[in-house]
Amino acid sequence: MINRSVKNAEEAIAGITDNMTLLVGGFGLCGIPENCINALVQSGVKGLTCISNNAGVDDFGLGLLLQNKQIKKMISSYVGENAEFERQMLSGELEVELIPQGTLATRALAAGYGMPVIYTPAGVGTEVAAGKEVRNFNGKDYLMEYAFDADFAIVKAWKGDTTGNLVFRHTARNFNPLMAMAGKITIAEVEELVEPGQLDPDHIHTPGIYVHRIFKGQVFEKRIEQRTVIKR
């Protein structure tokens, strides 16, 4: 049994240097690795390529790295809540690759499975297909998309044990398990860190074999992206 626990976010992100590619888990602001993102902000690392469903908001999540000009390229599916992202993209300061959400998920999955490429019908006949190989299977066209090649994956889980087994909750389970599989080195921050044997094996979503470093986060803001209330 390998103990993969580290003390804190600063120790967890050791080795992340300029111009690396990071897979960052989360869906909107749900299930994002807040502690690791804050540690990256403090580290001053720059020139990052970040692969994430979205880019946070202006003052939270990956938006903090954007504010500091620490990200040079975003590979995302949805970026509609971040004004600074829009400004940098339109000004040419930030390179952006927008891809269908299912393609984003499956390219991460392929990396975890060790597959070099996938074929998907998503994007055929659109700008997404520009410059990409198209193959026909059984009379239908498919785009060839490469599996992600990321130096690190950073995810956030509800519970984990010191060997790296992870349990996610609700919407946080959308992208985090896929990205946890896909990084050359995977870092997990958790709300509760327990000893081996304390997690129900039937409830484990990501086996510890995919996780290299794990720590208990100190503070989780868990901000709600858009709060909607019923008018009385």
- pLDDT at residue 56, as a whole number: 86
Q: Please report, in angstroms and rounded to a whole number, the separation of the first and last CA atoms in the chain.
A: 55
88-119 as b/e: b if 16+ CB within 10 A: bbeeeebeeeebbbebbbbbbbbbbeeeeebe
Distance CA 164, CA 80 (A): 33
- pLDDT at residue 47, as a whole number: 97
Distance CA 9, CA 155 (A): 12
- pLDDT at residue 133, as a whole number: 96
Out of 3.10.20.340, 3.40.1080.10, 3.40.50.300, 3.30.497.10, which CATH number does the structure's domain 9-216 have?
3.40.1080.10
- Block means of pLDDT (10 residues each) for the chain, 232 residues, are 94 97 92 96 97 90 94 91 89 94 95 96 94 96 97 97 96 94 96 96 96 93 76 76
From the list 99, 102, 158, 164, the residue with the least C-alpha distance to 129 is 99
- pLDDT at residue 11, as a whole number: 97
- Assess contact for 132 and 144: CB atoms under 8 A: yes
Backbone angles phi, psi at 228, to 5 degrees: -120, 130
- pLDDT at residue 109, as a whole number: 95
**Please, which residues have CB within 8 angstroms of residue 200's CB and are 6 or more apart in sequence?**
none
Residue spans of alpha helices (H) in the chain: 9-12, 34-43, 62-67, 83-91, 101-113, 176-182
Encoding tokens for residue 211? 């996780």
- pLDDT at residue 76, as a whole number: 94
- pLDDT at residue 181, as a whole number: 96
